Amino acid sequence: MLNIALPKGRLGDKVYDLFEKAGFECPSIRENNRKLIFENPDLGVRYFWVKPSDVAIYVERGAADLGVAGKDILLEYEPDVYELLDLKLGRCRMCVAGPADFRDDPSRTLRVATKFSHITEKYYHGIGRSIDRIHLNGSIELAPILGLSDVIVDIVETGTTLRENHLAVLETIVPISARLIANKASFQFLSGEIEKIRAGLKEQTEAEA
Ligand code: PRP
């Protein structure tokens, strides 16, 4: 049985649809919304729903052979897994955002609020800008409005959250989308099964592009 960790939520539903269209269906998954584990013994797949930011942990530690995680999570936590395929779902971008008229004053330390501390440190280190990083767990857009930070580093999908809060994208750091990831040992020992799924998903992803 191949264990597959899916990200719970809106993205997860789209991801499961893709697995289903690729021929790895598990009909019971659509019948119950409180259960967390579903399997199709005929196809040898077992799916389970986990918090999106936890998928990589399950895969890295081998509790799941495969999983689907956002590139944001992979860049932030750098889990020791293989990234097999860009599923082209959940597309968004990691951005620096702030008041539209914000001008950086290089003589001052820049205060940056974010949930993505590692990505933020790496980005500003890369451009040689010293920052005071403020780690928050959500509603990051509040920080510049209340004067807690000058700018934020966060995910922008439609841009609605920024607009509604009178903020704008100042820089795009990296595009983000959902990726198929594999446990390194599983990839070696279950290579045939994993390759079948990767190929099926790739075909489906290309058909939908
Ligand atoms: C994410 C992100 C933004 C929002 C962007 O938040 O942190 O707030 O989505 O989407 P948009 O550009 O389409 O408006 P999420 O919903 O994950 O909640 P959070 O604020 O608790 O992180």
pTM: 0.94
Tens digit of pLDDT for each residue in 8-23?
988 999 999 999 999 9
Q: Cα(174) to centroid of ligand 1, in Å?
A: 16
The percent helix, strand, coil of the chain (3-state, each to 5) is 35, 30, 35
Atom of ligand 1 nearest to the CA of 161: 14
Alpha carbon of 156 to ligand 1 centroid (Å): 7
Distance 41 CA to ligand 1 centre (A): 37
For a mutational test of ligand 1's pocket, the pick from 11, 141, 157, i.e. the residue with the most ligand atoms closer than 8 A to its C-beta, is: 157
Mutate to test the pocket of ligand 1, among 137, 141, 155 (most ligand atoms within 8 A of CB): 155
Provide the strand spans (E) within 17-167: 37-40, 45-50, 66-70, 82-86, 92-98, 110-114, 131-135, 151-156
| Cα 133 to middle of ligand 1, angstroms | 19
Q: Rounded distance, CA 59 to CA 78, Å?
A: 12
Cα 158 to averaged position of ligand 1 atoms, centre (Å) = 9
Residue 209 pLDDT grade (very low, low, confident, very high; cuts 50, 70, 90): confident
Q: For 60-105, how does the pLDDT look when each residue is reduced to its tens digit (9 = 90+)?
A: 999 999 999 999 999 999 999 999 999 999 999 999 999 999 999 9
How far does the centroid of ligand 1 lie from the alpha carbon of residue 194, in Å?
32
Token pair recorded at residue 7: 């990200």
The minimum-distance atom of ligand 1 relative to the CA of 92 is: 12
**Do the Cβ atoms of 159 and 139 come closer than 8 Å?**
no
Provide the percentage of residues in the chain whose pLDDT is more than 70: 100
Tokens for 74, please give them: 């992979």
SS3 71: helix
Atom of ligand 1 nearest to the CA of 159: 12
Three-state DSSP at 146 gives coil
What is the DSSP pairing of strand 110-114 with strand 131-135? parallel
Structure tokens at 99: 């008041």
Q: Which residues contact 162 (CB under 8 A, 6 or more apart)?
A: 97, 141, 156, 168, 169
How far is it, in rounded angstroms, from Cα 24 to Cα 52? 21
Closest CA to 131 of 161, 98, 165: 98
Q: Which residues line ligand 1 (CB under 6 A)?
A: 115, 138-141, 154-161
